[in-house]
Structure 1
Amino acid sequence: MKIRVNNDASYIRVFNATANSDKIDVYINDVLVFSDVRYREFVPYTPTFPGDYTVKVYECGNSEKLILEQELTIAGGNVGTLVITGIMPKLMLLAVFEDPNEKTCESNAKFRIAHLSPTTEPIDLTVNGVKMIDEIPFGKRTNYAEVPIGVYDFTIEESNVESEERNDGIRISKKIELKDNKIYTIYLIGDVPDIEIIQSLDIITYMNK
Structure 2
Amino acid sequence: MLMGMVAFVPAAAAQDGTAQVRVVHASPDAPAVDVYVDGSAVLTNVSFFAASGYLEVPAGERRIQVAPAGTSADQAVIDATVNLNAGQAYTVAATGLLENIGATVFEDNLSPAAAGEARVDVVHLSPDAPAVDVKLADGTILIENLAFGEGATIDVPAGTYDLIVTPTGAADVVIDLSGTTLEAGILYTVFATNVVANITPQLTAVTIGNAEAAQEEPTAE
Same structural fold, with TM-score higher than 0.5 when normalized by the shorter chain: yes
- List runs of 5+ in structure 2 lacking aligned partners: 1-9, 212-221
Aligned partner of 1:158 in structure 2 is: 167
Structure 2 counterpart of 1:147: 157
2:193 aligned partner = 189
Letter in 2 for 1:204: I
Q: Secondary structure at the match of 2:53?
A: coil
Gaps of 5+ in 1: none
TM-score, normalised to structure 1's length?
Answer: 0.84
Q: Distance in 2 between matches of 1:2 and 1:46?
A: 7
Counterpart of 1:172 in structure 2 is 175
Structure 1 residue 67 and structure 2 residue 77: aligned?
yes
TM normalised by structure 2 equals: 0.80
Partner of 2:135: 126
Q: How does 1:112-123 map to 2 (within 5 A)?
A: 112-123=121-132
Greater RCO (CA < 8 Å, at least 6 residues apart): 2
SS in 1 for 2:118: strand
Q: CA deviation at 1:141?
A: 1.1
The offset of 1:136, in angstroms, is 0.9
| Cα separation, 1, equivalents of 2:106 and 2:196 | 22
Shift in CA distance, 76/97, structure 1 to aligned 2, threshold 3 Å: same
C-alpha root-mean-square deviation of aligned residues, in Å? 2.4
Q: 1:90 to 1:179 in 2, by over 3 A?
A: same
Shift of 1:54: 1.4
1:27 alignment counterpart: 36
In the alignment, the residues of structure 1 paired with residue 207 and residue 85 of structure 2 have an alpha-carbon distance, to the nearest angstrom, of 17
Higher gyration radius (CA): 1
d(CA) in 2 for partners of 1:47, 1:204: 16
Check the 8 A contact 1:111/1:185 in 2, yes or no.
yes
Decide whether the 8 Å contact of 2:93 with 2:105 is kept in 1: yes
Task: Give, in whole Å, the separation in 1 of the partners of 2:189 and 2:107.
Answer: 10
Percentage of identical aligned residues: 18
Asked whether the 8 Å contact 2:12–2:54 carries over to 1, the reply is no
Gap change, CA 1:203 and 1:84, over 3 Å in 2? farther
Which of 83, 94, 99 is matched with 1:89 structurally?
A: 99
Q: CA deviation at 1:62?
A: 2.0
Equivalent-residue separation in structure 2 for 1:116 and 1:20 (angstroms): 13
Separation in structure 2 between the aligned mates of residue 199 and residue 171 of structure 1, nearest angstrom: 15
